[in-house]
Structure 1
Amino acid sequence: MTRLEPFRLKSMWGNYNFDYACSLSRGRSGGVWKDVDGPFFMVNVYAPQDHDSKVALWSNLVAFIANHAGTFLVFGDFNSVRVESERSGSSFSSDDADFFNSFLEEANLFDLPQGGRAFTYMNTPGTKFSKLDRFLLSQESVNRISDINVTVLDRKCSDHNPVLLSIKKVDYGPIPFKFFKSWLSKNGIDDKIASTWIAHASDPLHVTLKTLKNVLKPWIKQVMMSEQSELKIISSKITDIDLRLDRGIATPSERQRQERLDLLKERDEISILHDMDVYQKARIKWDLEGDENSKFFHSLINQQRRTQAINGVLQDGT
């Protein structure tokens, strides 16, 4: 939705006695949600207490959802419960619950399970409890957004508990170390890894990886400094040969150009390893920061994240 029309708001609110503010999306805030394609509607509900008014609101929401294609997340204070166990200390209206459950069925909305507190409302004396606040998600999108969570938090000043919608992300802690593909082409890397792994085979996996990091970090730094020095020497030699060829004072072996070709090959081999590091760093940066103007790019990166994700490491049955 790029703009809001007053008549559309009136159809949801019921009158013109309100004001509103609208902030259009920019860049990556343009409605990108993992595993959700197409328009995504977020509808905030504050339902009235009167039964007939609530029935009218449910009908308007059903019509609105039916006339708009996309994924819906409907949330807020619905002032209704679905079953008797969602009330305590107050009367339960089966008619009100039936109409509310029928609304969920007709709108094809799924009541997301809530963790934390059992109720979302408590009166001041602490004698009446109800589950009035909830998040409802389009039924067809529940399986695609499998990592969504709803938690009822502790109540502060309000008589309603805040309800938190979050996406559960698996975090295995800090990455042990960065490893570049170019390192596998460097002489001695296999011996360094094998000797460290054998020496710490009885240690826990994270201890072995930490030790390997401490071994490889200074070694690779020394190797790369040596390569940079060698690259400068090779480039200087190529420049000297080119200068002598240009002035016509090159030696017979230099005129045959084999020495120069060998130097170019050595320079290219070192430069290719450097280019591999730059390419890998760029891929990582794109993966983390993304491209705010490319929907295709985001879908591609999300697919790679799912296929390349490490969900766990099994060692000795643990």
Structure 2
Amino acid sequence: MGNPFTPCDFDGGLNLGNKSESNGWIFILRELYISFVSDLQGNDSFMHAFSPSRGTSGGILAVWNTDLISQKRVIISDWFVSVEAVWTRLGLDVMFIVIYAPQGVVCKRMLWANILEMVVSFPGVCILMGDFKEVRDASERLGSRFNSLTATYFNDFIEYADSVDVPLGGPRFTWSDRWGSKFSKLDRFLITEGLLHNFPHITGLVLETNLPDHHPIILIEQPVDYVRGSWSQSVVGLVDMNPWVIFKKKLQFLKSNMRVWNSTSRLQLSNKRKELHVKIDALDGSLMNDASSTLLREQRVTLLKELANLKHLSQIDLTQKVKI
């Protein structure tokens, strides 16, 4: 199947020119007050690019450390800010694209087309991040209608960009309305596969804010050693035994420890769900007497999000059982 996206002209564009070589991370802040930009003035360690507010959004602000990232070109558009740079510690060409997508289907398809053209023509790796205003499947939306057609457009865009949707730890959804009736996973990281060669343990994390609207998300690399504790256990009485026997015993230690951890985690999960149900029932009773209480409704939103996250973990656990 051919590429369904046709590139088109996008508004805006600014080339900030070349800068001296450095390396590192980029820090993305979205919907910040303009006063923050003023605070950056005169600070040689940071540069920024800003796309002004459009509609109800607060705009897009990208900030990077000039001691860590050597930027070559910055493009500013209505719906994204892109930074082409060199990650000098690795000698890696990288393009960061910070996205705040529009609501309309046509506008989003135009945005996907423009970004796709940028990604496929860039010689290095790409990191796309932000609010894509779209979900990939029905499981990423709760309490609102799932549009399979727009999800297909979005999935096609990800596929043609040859990118990976980075798994996010933490809460299942990244956005909710103030009443706790609608939840969606709108914010994410998309990376091209070349980045995985340099950062094989890269992952994302959704931060809990206990407030409605969007959750912050961060991208990290954190290698996890699942077996070090079990493997370091001494095998008493087997010092002079066949190495294969010792190896078998270590595997048995690992299996036993994983069973204990799994059983404990499931029990904690079950108890936490029961506790949340009790709290939600109590809040529902209070809201019947005081339906206008904003504080009670915000507390209910927080509890519902926690419960949705726990249900998601239970579904993952059940899926793994079926596979096994």
The interval holding the TM-score normalised by the smaller chain is 0.3 to 0.5
Higher CA-based Rg: 1
| TM-score, scaled relative to structure 1 | 0.47
The alignment's TM-score, normalised by the length of structure 2, stands at: 0.46
- Structure holding more helix per residue: 1
